[in-house]
Structure 1
Amino acid sequence: MKKRSFVQYLAFAAALLAAPAAFAGCSREIVVPVSSVGVSVIAGSDGTVTGIYPDLLRSLGTKAGCHFVFTTVPRARQELMFATGKADLLVTAMRTPARDVNGIFVPMIGHRATLISVQSDRPPITSGQDLLERRDLRVAVVRGYDYGEAYQSLVRELSKQGRLFTEVDPAAVARLLHLGAVDVTIMGPTILAGSIDREPRVAGLIDKLRMEPIPELPWGHTGIYVSRHSLKPADQEALLELLEKAAKSGVVMESFQRYHRPEILAESVRPR
C-alpha cells in the first residue's frame, strides 16, 4: 500500500475538522513560544518558525478557526512561560508530573531519549549507574529538557561530579560532540539528527552516531501540553479536541518517517 504524503496527511487531518461538528473557533490568538527541537520545531535565525508541529497547527488551525502565534525563545524560557501561564501551548514535550501541574497532555507519538555518542570501541553503557561510574566520560544536555525524574536525578549527579555540560540547544551539543569536547549526550535521537541536518559545521556526524538505550529512560509519549491556567474553558476544550484528532490522523508519525532514517526512528519514535 502506497504511503500517503505529508501534504495528504495534513489535508486528511484538516478534513476531519471540516465536518459538521467542527469547531466554533478560538476566542483569541493562541500564544505558542517555541525553541528548535530537531525537525519537530525549526526556529530560524530570522524569526521564522516551521517544522512538523508548527506546520500541522497552522494547517489545522485554518479550518478550526484558531490562529497560532509563534515566538522563538530558549527552551528553558519556553518551559517557564508555560509554567507561569504566559503560554497557551507547550510544543513539544514528554509527559512529566511537573508539567502535568500546569497543562493537559495530548500524546502525539511514542518517544524515548537515549545516550548518544560518536562511534568508538568503548564498552557499552548499560544503565544510568554505569554512566555515573564512567567518570572519564563528559556528558552534554540541553537546558530545559526533561525526560522525567530518573533523567533529572542523573543530570543532578553528573553535575555534582563536574562532568555535565549544559547547552542552550541541540545544535550546540552536536558541535561539542563533533569537536570531541564531550563524549555523550542524552536526548531523543530524532532531535539530535534533525539539528545535525541543519548545521553545516557538523557535516557527516549523523553517520557516526552511536545510540544506547538505558532502563532509566523508558518509552513514553511526546506531544503537546494545553495550558490549565491561561485559556478560557471553551478555548481549552477546542484545542484539546483539535490536537486529539490530529494525533489520531497519523500525520505526526508519517512526518517523522518522511524526515528520518529508519535506524534513527527505531531507537526513539513509534506510533502512540
Structure 2
Amino acid sequence: MLARLIVCGALLCLSGAASADHHGPTCGHLRSAFYEYGALYYKTADGHWTGIDKDVVDEVARRLGCTIEALTDSRVRIWAGLSGGSIDMSVSAVATPEREKMGRLVPYLAERNYVLLQASAPDNMHSMDDFLANPALKIGVIKSFRHGKAYDAWLAQLRARGRVYEAPDYEALLRLFKVGRVHAVMAISTGWYPLFKREPLRIMDWAPPKDAVIGGLILSRQHIDEALAERFSQTIRAMREDGTLKRIFERHLNPELAAKLLNF
C-alpha cells in the first residue's frame, strides 16, 4: 500500500487559499509520487520524510496554492501509476520518448551518473571498457532508471552478457553492493553523497563531460493540462532565478555538488 502524507501541510494550503506568490486559480488537489533515493528523498531520524524532491514540491505547492498529496513507492510502480492514471505527477524524472507520451517534464536539476566500485574490485578499473573486459565483474542498477547515453549503451552490453542485477529501489541496490553480490553500482551524486559522508567510496566518473542527466517533475497529461503545466514550469524558473533551488540543494548537499545541480 502506498504510504501517504500531505506535502503542503499549512492550513492555507489545505483550504485551497492562495499564497502570496500565487497568481491565477489554484491547482486543487494533486497526487505526487516519491521514491526513496539518497538526498532526493529520505527519512530523518524521527521518521519524517525530507529531501530535495520533497522541498521542491513543497515550495511549488506553496507558490501555486495547491494541495499535493505525497505517495511513496518504488520507481517501477510509480511509472505504472502514471501510465494508468492513478498518479498525477512524480519527481526527479528523466525524459524518454515513451515517458513524454504520458507526461510533460519540468526540469529542476542536472545530475551525473557515477560508478561506485567495491574496495575489492581490481585496481585497474579506469574506464567502462576496463570493466567490460573483465567477465567476472557485475554491476547493480535500479530497474527503470536511465543513466545517460554513454552509460545506457554500456549497460546494454553488460546486460547481454548477464552481468547486470536490477534492484527495485535504492535500498535494495545498496544491499546488493554491501553483501558483495555486485562489484559496482550506478549512482548519481545525490545518491552517493550521504554514503560518502559515512564511509569511503571508490567513485568513478566514466561518462563524457557533457553526458548530464536532467531530472524534473513529470506531470501527467491525463490530469494536468498544458496551461497548468506551464504554471509549474514558470514557478520552477522563478525558484531558480531567486535562489530558492540553490538553497534547497545546499540544505541536503555540500555547496560544490549543489551548484552542479543547477546546470540544467
Distance 1:81 1:113, change over 3 A: same
What pairs up with 1:59-138 in 2 under 5 angstroms?
59-119=59-119, 122-127=123-128, 129-138=129-138
Kept in 2: contact 1:49–1:70 (CA 8 A): no
| Matching residue of 2:231 | 238
Paired with 2:252 and 2:137, the residues of 1 have a C-alpha distance of 31
Distance 1:261 1:115, change over 3 A: same
| Matching residue of 2:166 | 166
1:225 aligns with 2:218: yes
Query: Which stretch of the first structure deviates more once superposed, 112-121 or 177-186?
Result: 112-121
Paired with 2:225 and 2:182, the residues of 1 have a C-alpha distance of 45
| Matching residue of 1:13 | none
Distance 1:262 1:239, change over 3 A: closer
Unaligned runs of 5+ residues in structure 1 are: 1-16, 198-202
Kept in 2: contact 1:42–1:51 (CA 8 A): yes
| Matching residue of 1:23 | 24
Distance 1:217 1:225, change over 3 A: same
- Superposition TM-score, scaled by structure 1 size: 0.75
Kept in 1: contact 2:148–2:211 (CA 8 A): no
| Matching residue of 2:182 | 182
Unaligned runs of 5+ residues in structure 2 are: 1-18
Paired with 1:157 and 1:40, the residues of 2 have a C-alpha distance of 29
| Matching residue of 1:144 | 144
Shift of 1:139: 0.3
Shift of 1:138: 1.2
The amino acid across from 1:22 in the alignment is: H
Shift of 1:270: 4.5
Paired with 2:246 and 2:63, the residues of 1 have a C-alpha distance of 21
Shift of 1:150: 4.7
Kept in 1: contact 2:103–2:218 (CA 8 A): yes
**Number of residue-to-residue matches in the alignment:** 245
| Matching residue of 1:7 | none
Question: Secondary structure of 1:101's match?
Answer: helix
The amino acid across from 1:66 in the alignment is: C
* Deviation sequence 1:159-218 (CA, Å, 0-9, x none): 231221111222222233233331111121321334x38xxxxx943x223222323981
Kept in 1: contact 2:112–2:213 (CA 8 A): yes
Question: Secondary structure of 1:25's match?
Answer: coil
Question: Secondary structure of 2:40's match?
Answer: coil
Paired with 1:267 and 1:241, the residues of 2 have a C-alpha distance of 21
| Matching residue of 1:271 | 263
Which of 249, 258, 264 is matched with 2:251 structurally? Answer: 258
More helix by share: 1
Q: Could you tell me the percent identity over the aligned residues?
A: 23
Question: Secondary structure of 1:271's match?
Answer: coil
Kept in 2: contact 1:96–1:148 (CA 8 A): no
